[in-house]
Amino acid sequence: MRLVHTVSELKEVLAEVRTERSIGFVPTMGALHKGHLSLIERCQQDGNFTVVSIFVNPLQFSSEADYEGYPRTLGVDARLLTDASVDVLFAPSAAEVFPKEQSFPEIDPGVVGERFEGEFRPGHFAGMLKVVSRLLDIVVPDGAYFGEKDAQQVALVTQMVDAQVHSGRREPMSVMVCPTIRSEQGLALSSRNLRLSGAELESATELYGALVAGSKAGKQSAEIVEAAKAALSPAIRLEYLELVDASSFEIVERIPSGGARLIIAAWVGDVRLIDNLLIGGSK
Ligand code: AMP
């Protein structure tokens, strides 16, 4: 695996590869776990030259404390990626991604971005889209791989890429969505889980338990949400738990034929976790 820190070196490496191979890209913020590795595996299975980025994007954190406290484990991550036979690890500095002498357009997340995560984490989606767009401009991949765990993020990235391709601003590329990888107890793997104590880790499994309870409760949103909430103990401080349309993230009254997404965000101790489950659809 080649470790690259600068945009110019990455572009040089990829210019050569591009003539012969498709390029697959997996953007991450590091502190890698099996969820990230599943995206990488899928990218490799699709036959791509695989580029993984590790960049803790300051623009998408709502508080300085959350940004500072985000786990940074580059040495361990690099070893994991080497073992996974990744071709390139791109680990740039903030100045490399957003050089001061250049300006980068703000990207409006639109109405989908105002709901749920957008409401509880002001600025998060605008910051996320700005960095994803910039990274896609640097890597110019044929496909980029994202986790369904961050379902609203996937919806917004897909919306952004479609618009950019449609306007001719970006070459056609695919946004690939990969299923959520969970612990044996059902907890969605997340870099933030590293900050949970043993007891908190146990409580955190209630989030998935609630989604499953909701998924078995019928077709009406009211009964689904009620059953899901009933599965949560006081250790879980809920921010939202709703049944929504899988692409618009608008609240739905009942599960439509294509399915709906039950989404949850909650605090366990001082760690904020999100999860979701597609229910009633074919997936
Ligand atoms: P992050 O490093 O948290 O920004 O995540 C990088 C990518 O990995 C995003 O596309 C996430 O949705 C994805 N991801 C994070 N956790 C999981 C998981 N448990 N299963 C599958 N994908 C995940």
Q: CA 256 to CA 64: how far, in whole Å?
A: 40
Largest CA distance in the chain: 56
Q: CA 195 to CA 201: how far, in whole Å?
A: 9
The pLDDT, as a whole number, for residue 282 is: 53
| Nearest CA residue ID for atom 10, ligand 1 | 146
The pLDDT, as a whole number, for residue 62 is: 83
CB of 180 within 6 A of ligand 1: the answer is yes
CB of 190 within 6 A of ligand 1: the answer is yes
Q: Which atom of ligand 1 is nearest to the CA of 36?
A: 8
CB of 127 within 6 A of ligand 1: the answer is no
Q: CA 38 to CA 30: how far, in whole Å?
A: 14
- Computed over every residue of the chain, the mean pLDDT equals 97
Q: Which atom of ligand 1 is nearest to the CA of 29?
A: 2
Model-level pTM greater than 0.75?
A: yes
Following CA atoms 168, 149, 58, 3 in sequence, which dihedral angle do they give, to the nearest 10 degrees?
-80
Closest listed residue to residue 192, CA positions, set 26, 75, 31: 31
CB of 147 within 6 A of ligand 1: the answer is yes
CB of 35 within 6 A of ligand 1: the answer is yes
Task: Kindly give the parts of the chain with pLDDT less than 50.
Answer: 283
Of 37, 39, 190, the one to substitute when testing ligand 1's pocket (max ligand atoms within 8 A of C-beta) is: 39
CB 263 within 8 A of CB 247: no
The pLDDT, as a whole number, for residue 264 is: 98
Tens digit of each residue's pLDDT (9 = 90 or more) over 222-257: 999 999 999 999 999 999 999 999 999 999 999 999
Q: Which spans in the chain are helix H? A: 7-18, 34-45, 64-69, 74-83, 94-97, 117-120, 124-139, 151-166, 198-215, 221-230
The pLDDT, as a whole number, for residue 262 is: 98
The pLDDT, as a whole number, for residue 283 is: 46
CB 50 within 8 A of CB 78: no
Gap from CA of 101 to ligand 1 centroid (Å): 31
Angle at 106 between CA 100 and CA 111, to 5 degrees: 160
Annotated active-site residue in 5, 33, 36, 166: 36
CB of 124 within 6 A of ligand 1: the answer is no
Of 43, 86, 146, 149, the one to substitute when testing ligand 1's pocket (max ligand atoms within 8 A of C-beta) is: 149
Angle at 57 between CA 39 and CA 211, to 5 degrees: 50
Residue pointed to by tokens 């990888």: 181
CB of 28 within 6 A of ligand 1: the answer is yes
Concerning whether 36 is annotated as a catalytic residue, the answer is yes
Tens digit of each residue's pLDDT (9 = 90 or more) over 16-31: 999 999 999 999 999 9
Report DSSP letters for 112-136, one per residue: GGGSTHHHHSTTHHHHHHHHHHHHH
What crossing angle do the helices spanning 151-166 and 124-139 adopt, rounded to 10°? 50
Q: CA 186 to CA 273: how far, in whole Å?
A: 13
